[in-house]
């Protein structure tokens, strides 16, 4: 169950390690969120009245800042196509700017993500301890994200970045047995924003046909095609250009690159 909460600045001290001061959201039923920190035996975390209470009777003090509002949630799905650095940059930007992010990765997506970015696919590694991020199991079709009627897991927007041609084809056919495909299907049928960032070249006619089908169904097809009119001086400038275009497609104000005319 996920609820919109005020931001929490938490200073959590565990017997094994100290996490530091960071913005965090954990729900007791989300085992992955606790396991992602590399801490075992903390599946029973729940929050109430300014404390986090563990089944082993530890009280973890919280400093509550009610001026910080949680925005979102936004689903970021990662598949096995190349371009995971776009997903990493996007998640860090969203989480660092107060958005609750629900991340899903296919098995190959996780491997490619870690290979290309050098970052473990865990909450701590991705966010650097800053932001609101939950990682979901792509095999868990019982997730609240998989239902359009769920209020607990209701998301406003979905980004699939990078999107493989296999995932794109299954979504276009309204078929699939994984959470990523189901979440995309929910977004389309509930008329929520779905942004698909394909990363493949060259493209054959079936790839193009699938993109047309999804565009006709309401998805935004946003290929990973960076521009160069902003005169990028580094790879990071190129990455930021693409991530900014994704944020634009989500109607999220941002200034990640110098826009034309500025």
- 192-201 per-position pLDDT tens digit: 999 999 999 9
45 shares its domain with 132: no
Query: Can you give the residue range of the structural domain that contains 46?
Result: 6-68
pLDDT at 111 > cutoff 90: yes
SS (H, E, C) 49-82: CCEEECCCCCEEEEEEEEEEECEEEEEEEECCCC
Is 15 among the domain residues? Answer: yes
Annotate 83-117 with b (16+ C-beta within 10 A) or e (fewer).
bbbbbbbbbbbbbeeebbbbbbbbeebbebbbeeb
Q: Is 111 in contact with 228 (CB distance < 8 Å)?
A: no
Q: What is the CATH number of the domain that holds 213?
A: 3.40.50.1950
Both tokens assigned to 70:
């949680």
Q: What is the DSSP letter of 148?
A: T
Task: Tell me which of 68, 98, 118 is where a domain ends.
Answer: 68
Is 255 among the domain residues? Answer: no
pLDDT score of 45: 33
> How much is the average pLDDT of 163-180?
96
62 shares its domain with 93: no
> Rounded to two decimals, what is the model's pTM?
0.75
pLDDT score of 152: 66
Q: Sheet of 46-48: strands edge to edge? A: 18-23, 6-13, 59-69, 51-53, 46-48
CA–CA gap between residue 23 and residue 98 (Å, rounded): 9
141 shares its domain with 60: no
25 shares its domain with 95: no
DSSP 88-137: HHHHHHHHHTTEEEEEEE-HHHHHHHHHHH---SSHHHHHTT-SEEEEE-
pLDDT tier for residue 136 given thresholds of 50, 70 and 90: very high
Is 1 among the domain residues? Answer: no
Say if residue 67 is exposed, middle or buried (CB neighbours under 10 Å; 0-12, 13-18, 19+): exposed
pLDDT score of 11: 35
> How much is the average pLDDT of 165-186?
96
Is 258 among the domain residues? Answer: no
Residue entry with tokens 């924003």: 193
If one counts the domains in the chain, the total is: 2
CA–CA gap between residue 8 and residue 27 (Å, rounded): 13
More confident residue, 151 or 19: 151
For 233, other C-beta atoms within 10 Å of its C-beta total 8
39 shares its domain with 133: no
196 shares its domain with 86: yes
pLDDT at 254 > cutoff 90: yes
Q: Is 188 in contact with 155 (CB distance < 8 Å)?
A: no
Is 228 among the domain residues? Answer: yes
pLDDT tier for residue 19 given thresholds of 50, 70 and 90: very low
pLDDT at 104 > cutoff 50: yes
* pLDDT (tens digit per residue) in 37-50: 333 232 233 333 23
Q: What is the DSSP letter of 178?
A: S
Q: Is 75 in contact with 9 (CB distance < 8 Å)?
A: no
Task: Tell me which of 50, 68, 86 is where a domain ends.
Answer: 68
60 shares its domain with 126: no
Q: Which of 127, 120, 67 is nearest to 93 (CA)?
A: 127
Residue entry with tokens 């299954």: 170
């Amino acid at each position: 169950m996920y609820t919109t909460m005020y931001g929490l600045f938490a200073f959590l001290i565990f017997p094994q390690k100290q996490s530091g001061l960071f913005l965090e959201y954990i729900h007791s039923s989300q085992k992955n969120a606790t396991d992602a920190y590399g801490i075992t035996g903390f599946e029973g975390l729940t929050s109430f009245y300014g404390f986090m209470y563990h089944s082993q009777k530890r009280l973890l003090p919280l400093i509550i800042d009610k001026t910080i509002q949680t925005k979102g949630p936004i689903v970021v799905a990662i598949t096995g196509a190349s371009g995971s650095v776009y997903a990493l940059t996007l998640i860090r930007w969203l989480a660092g700017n107060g958005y609750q992010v629900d991340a899903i990765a296919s098995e190959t997506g996780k491997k490619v993500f870690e290979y290309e970015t050098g970052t473990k696919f865990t909450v701590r590694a991705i966010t650097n301890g800053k932001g609101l991020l939950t990682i979901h199991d792509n095999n868990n079709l019982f997730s609240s994200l998989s239902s359009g009627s769920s209020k607990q897991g209701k998301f406003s927007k979905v980004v699939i970045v990078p999107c493989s041609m296999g995932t794109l084809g299954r979504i276009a056919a309204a078929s699939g047995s994984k959470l990523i495909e189901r979440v995309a299907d929910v977004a389309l049928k509930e008329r929520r924003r779905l942004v698909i960032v394909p990363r493949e070249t060259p493209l054959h006619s079936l790839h193009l046909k699938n993109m047309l089908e999804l565009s006709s169904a309401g998805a935004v097809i946003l290929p990973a095609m960076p521009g160069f009119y902003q005169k990028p001086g580094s790879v990071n400038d190129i990455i930021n250009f693409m991530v900014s275009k994704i944020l634009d497609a989500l109607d999220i104000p941002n200034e990640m690159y110098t826009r034309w005319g500025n």
